[in-house]
Amino acid sequence: MEEVDKENLPKILIIDSDDEHLESLKKILSKLKVSIYEINSGDKAFSLLLRHEFILILLDVKMLGMDAQEIAQLILDNKKNNHIPVICMTTNNKDESQINQGYNLSAIDCLSKPINKDILLSKVEIFLHCFNKEKKGEKEKIQEELVNQLEEKNRELQKSQLAALNMMEDANEARAALVKLQAKELEQFAYTATHDLKTPINNIESYLTFLKKDTTINSEKSLIAIEWIDKSVDHCKKLIQNLVTVVKIKEESSFDISSIDVGSILKTVLGLLQSEIKQSKARINVDFKRCPKIRYSVPHLESLLLNLLSNAIKYRSSNRALEINISTVNEDGYSLLSVQDNGIGINVNRDREKVFGLFKRAHKDTDGTGMGIYIVNETLKKFGGKIELKSEVDKGATFMVYFKH
């Protein structure tokens, strides 16, 4: 800590071959807030002058070894030190040759030994005052430059922020225009899907009915083809219906929301899935005691449960009996509906986008349009709700649906 303080104080260098005089000068100057470096040989001066910046040098004219002339020349030759004021010390104030020698060394003043304490302190204080004043001026200049730089940076930042805000406004306008355009295109596509596509599909379905009734068709390949066409037609009809649903969700600004008894809606859905549940031998556990009612739209809640339960059945594991747990609780301003299964599970980190995306499926080895969960998610967003997924491969999946109170 002392070394750090010494380094931060103004530095004075005393060069005198008389050790006793060195100690005396050091004692006098110790009353000032300065850092004192004393050496008794000119040979040591070079090293110190390279490593430190001094505000004043006290130099004995009658030095031993490297004489005062050499030391003075060393100071003058170095650009780093040639501005440092030098006070020469002579042994006799009446010896004009020594005084002249001091001034010849480019000294700004001369003091004779024995050094008068008060005179020395007053002279050194003058240099210290000038130094502090100069440093203060430099500090104020630096501060002024920093303030100017900061103001300039602030102006640049304000310009950047303004440009960013303009870009955001432009982006928002572009996004709004794009949404309108997409909605219109989607609406046009839905119209095409419900009118232009329905007609040929209905024609195929009618012709398929005749083929099914034709008892002369006995070929195994023909029967397989008829079955495949039947499934494809059914898939197309579901796809068209889902597209229409997506458009309706995008266009609808409000829904008929009411407090719904979850148990009664689930009963309806289980009735619709009766055949699938029986075939899969699924065991379904229900717990609605903690939150028996949910504020939502009746048809949308039916669609949601139908999608989640049919997915649980569709993606069951062949290694264990299917078990589905359905429960509700109140949590942080939401009614939380959980549908948990022990099926094949999903790699959430890899396939999350596929689960919630349009026309995307995490598992491609089963039938589906890739729109069910997308529709559920988009509808929930309209209500201020959300859906989350937790899953591990070969352990099952849990869909957590949050309905705003």
Q: What is the CATH number of the domain that holds 359?
A: 3.30.565.10
Domain boundary among 251, 270, 289: 251
**Which residue type sits at 150?**
L
Kindly state whether residues 244 and 280 are assigned to the same domain: no
In a domain, 35, yes or no: yes
Which residue in this structure is represented by tokens 């060195």?
A: 22
Tokens of 276: 């699938």
Kindly state whether residues 273 and 189 are assigned to the same domain: no
In a domain, 128, yes or no: no
pLDDT in tens, 48-71: 877 888 888 888 877 655 566 677
Q: How far apart are CA 1 and CA 7, in angstroms?
A: 10
Q: Return the closest-CA partner of residue 297 out of 375, 396, 398, 391.
A: 375
Q: How far apart are CA 13 and CA 204, in angstroms?
A: 107
- Say what the pLDDT of residue 232 is: 73
Domain of 65: which CATH number? Answer: 3.40.50.2300
Which residue in this structure is represented by tokens 């089963």?
A: 366
Kindly state whether residues 247 and 264 are assigned to the same domain: no
Domain count, the chain: 3
Q: Return the closest-CA partner of residue 312 out of 290, 292, 338.
A: 338
- Say what the pLDDT of residue 360 is: 47
Kindly state whether residues 45 and 68 are assigned to the same domain: yes
Domain boundary among 220, 251, 282: 251
Q: Return the closest-CA partner of residue 405 out of 312, 336, 310, 309.
A: 336
Tokens of 94: 């009446």
Per DSSP, the residues of 51-101 read H---SEEEEESS-SSS-HHHHHHHHHH-TTTTTS-EEEEES-TT-HHHHHH
- Say what the pLDDT of residue 1 is: 40
Kindly state whether residues 312 and 385 are assigned to the same domain: yes
Domain boundary among 201, 235, 251: 251
In a domain, 175, yes or no: no
Task: Verify cis geometry, omega within 30 degrees of 0, for the bond prior to 299.
Answer: no
Q: Which domain holds residue 211?
A: 183-251
In a domain, 146, yes or no: no
Tokens of 243: 């597209």
In a domain, 130, yes or no: no
Kindly state whether residues 19 and 94 are assigned to the same domain: yes
Q: Return the closest-CA partner of residue 282 out of 253, 250, 304, 311.
A: 311
Residues of the chain with pLDDT under 50: 1-2, 4, 359-360, 362, 369
